Each structure stands twice: as C-alpha cells, then as structure tokens.
Amino acid sequence: MNMTRYSSNPIITKSDVKFKVNSIFNAGAVKFNDKYLLLCRIEMPIGRSSFVIAESSDGYNFTVGAKPVLTPEDHNEYFCYVEWGIEDSRITFLDGKYFITYTGYSKYMPLVMLAETEDFKSFKILGPISVPSNKDCAIFPEKINNYYWKVDRPSAENNRDIWISRSPDLLHWGGHKILMQPSAGTWEADKIGGSSDPVKTKDGWLMLYHGVRGFGISFIYKLGVVLLDLNEPWKVIGKSKGPILSPDENYERIGDVGNVVFSNGWIFEKDGSVKIYYSGADMNVCLAETSVEFLLSICK
C-alpha cells in the first residue's frame, strides 16, 4: 500500500461540533479502550484554541464530544502561558499513562506544555517543558539508554530545525542535539518541525515531520517521514526523498491557512497498516492510509 487519501475526506469538520467553533483540526491520535481517540484542536469564536475529543470504533466515523475537554482556563497557575490558546497535541503512551505535549500560546509566544492523563477525562497539567519559542514537541514512547527523549523545534520564529534532548524525569531536559535541518532549494527549504509521535519499528523510530517552503506571501506545508536509530535516536538513518503528502485536494488548498497538510497523530494497526490523521488548510480532520512497510521502504 502506498499512501491513499480516504475517499470520504474530510472525516471531521466544524459541522460535526455541537457548539460554536471556527474550525476543528490538528488532532493527536491514540487507541484507547479499543476506540480511536482524537484530541482535536478547536478554534473558538474568539480565535483561541482548546481541545475536544472525537471518538470512533472504526477509525473512520467519529463523534465529537459535547464540550471541550481541556481549555486555557483549566491551566490555573500556568494560565499566563496558554492564555491565547492550546494547540497541536501529540500523545505518547509511556509508563502506563498517556503524556500529551502541546503548544501553549500567549504574549510570551509559543512554548511546549506537558500534561498526563489516564482516562482522557481528567488531565494533570505538568507545566511548560521549554521556554518560548518552541513547538512541535513529541515524546518517545519508551526510555532509551535510561533517559526519556523528546524532539521539538526551539525558537519557532527564528529557528528552522528539529532538535532532540533527553531527561531523567520528563520535566528537566538537557543533552540537546540538532536532529534535522531544512534542505535548501526543496519542498522543505524554509523550516521543518516534528509532526507525529515517534513509533518503534524493527528498523528504527519512524516519525512524521512537516516541511515548509515559502512562495511569495504564502507557505506550503507538506509531510515527510524520517527514520531514527533505535539506540541512538539523535542519528537520522533514513528519510523520505520527497514529501509523502502534499496539499492537492480543495479541502487542503482552501481554508484559514491555504495549501497546508499538517499532522500530529497517527495510529499503527496490528496488521501493519497505518492511519495518518491530518488536517487540510487548518480547517478539518482528514485521513490517509499507508503501511509500515511502505514508510520504511521510502526511508531507505
């Protein structure tokens, strides 16, 4: 299987939300209690984002929750770092809990927030794990060499690279290393960022990332895939030669931010197939299907 868009894309739009939102997009994805669970970003009418859950038993037909499950106002002592919204979650199952990294947006500019949950009903907010500007953070699903690991993009306004770092406790991070840089004169010329949570395969850690190229006043967001060494995850051992998904359909071309495909969640099935949840033009939730073998083959 190569890469196939689901024929009934988009699978979720704002008309599926029972309360008033501007848009629903950029979902973290996980299988929880045999259900497909998407932690979707909803832009509220005022222009600030919260999270809502969409649930499905087949991965295609989703029901959106009746109210937001996490909002800036839920952040108590951390509210000043998320006052302008919470965005773009990545979910990692680790040590028997689900850890969620997401962007907190405020007058201080974007930074990386960390929360944990066991049931996706109550969330323990652990606070910022970076200073601004930083976003696109995802945590590896197990310890490597006795450390937890994360990727992120420091200095979101001026810096264009993906970095990797390690931690003894998920809260204190060090050992920062550059992981990947944009590639001049290509689809990923202007900036790159981590997209999905990293997933372990027999050949290495697979991770989706996004690449951005500016044309005049607009930017085109595409998706690529990268393979990292299992024991030394700061080593890139393979990478797709070009984008694996590019804005092409109307629902990816036209919207609040046109010409964008953006993903922050995927689900690996037992049969080797992979569901990539992504959003078109910052407006909806879509699905593309592929397989682990295909993703590995294009990284070689």
Query: Count of residues binding ligand BMA (CB under 6 A)?
Result: 8
Per-residue binder mask for ligand BMA (CB under 6 A), 84-113, x = binder: ---xx-------------------------
Scan residues 212-231 and list those touching ligand BMA (CB under 6 A): 221
260: contact with ligand BMA by CB under 6 A: yes
Q: Whole-angstrom Cα distance, residue 249 to residue 41?
A: 21
Figure out which of the listed residues 94, 109, 257, 296 binds ligand BMA, where binding follows CB under 6 A: 257
Closer residue to ligand BMA in complex, CB, 188/282: 282
26: contact with ligand BMA by CB under 6 A: yes
Closer residue to ligand BMA in complex, CB, 26/284: 26
As measured in angstroms, the least distance from the Cβ of 282 to ligand BMA is: 5
As measured in angstroms, the least distance from the Cβ of 177 to ligand BMA is: 22
As measured in angstroms, the least distance from the Cβ of 59 to ligand BMA is: 22
**Piece of the chain touching ligand BMA by CB under 6 A; list 73-81, 142-150, 254-262, 289-297:** 254-262
Closer residue to ligand BMA in complex, CB, 206/283: 283
